[in-house]
Amino acid sequence: MTGTPDLSKPDLTSPDLYRFWWEERVRFNDLDAVGHVNNNALGVYFEQARVALIHQVGGFTDEVPWTVVLARSLIEYKAELLYPNTVRIGARTLRLGTSSITLGCAIFLGDRCIATQEAVAVIVDKAAHRPTPIPEPLRAKLLEA
C-alpha cells in the first residue's frame, strides 16, 4: 500500500521504534501470588496505550460514526515486572488494511522491554456493528502514529 511504512518484521523490543508513548503505574492489585505483575494486568496496560493512541487520532468520541474493537492480540512476555514501578508503553501503526489496523506495542521499564504485543483492531460502524473501511482522515493520521 502506498504510504504505508514497511514494518513487516519490526523489532518491537526497541524503544526507538515508537513515536507514541503512554505511562502507567504498577498497582498493588496488579500482582500475582508470587509478587510479579500478572499477565492480565500487562494486557490492561497495552489496552490503555492502544485506546490513548486511537483517541489521539480522533477515535472514541461521540462525533465519529465508528469505533475500534480488538480482533487479535499476541503478547510475548520478556521479563518480570514488580511493584512499585512506573512503566512506559510504546505504540505505533505497523500495517493498515481495508478496515483493520495492526499496532505494535511494548512495555518498558526504563529501556528494558517487559513485554511486546501485536494487536489487530478493526474499525466498526457504531450503528451497524459491522466492519467499515478506515476513513481517509483516520488512515492519514494512523500512518503518522
CA angle 126, 132, 134 (to 5 degrees): 110
Task: Please say whether the dihedral angle defined by the alpha carbons of residues 54, 102, 19 and 5, taken in this order, is positive or negative.
Answer: negative
Predicted local distance difference test score (pLDDT) of residue 2 = 44
In whole angstroms, what is the distance from residue 128 CA to residue 123 CA?
Answer: 12
CATH fit for domain 15-144, picks 3.90.1310.10, 3.10.129.10, 3.40.50.1860, 3.40.1160.10? 3.10.129.10
Predicted local distance difference test score (pLDDT) of residue 117 = 98
Those residues with Cβ within 8 angstroms of residue 109's Cβ, 6 or more apart along the chain or in another chain: 79, 81, 85, 87
In whole angstroms, what is the distance from residue 76 CA to residue 91 CA?
Answer: 15
pLDDT tens figures, 9-66: 899 999 999 999 999 999 999 999 999 999 999 999 999 999 999 999 999 999 999 9
Those residues with Cβ within 8 angstroms of residue 53's Cβ, 6 or more apart along the chain or in another chain: 20, 22, 91, 103, 145
Per-residue pLDDT band for 7 (boundaries 50, 70, 90) equals low
pLDDT tens figures, 75-90: 999 999 999 999 999 9
The neighbour count for residue 133, using CB atoms within 10 Å, is 13
Predicted local distance difference test score (pLDDT) of residue 42 = 98
Predicted local distance difference test score (pLDDT) of residue 9 = 80
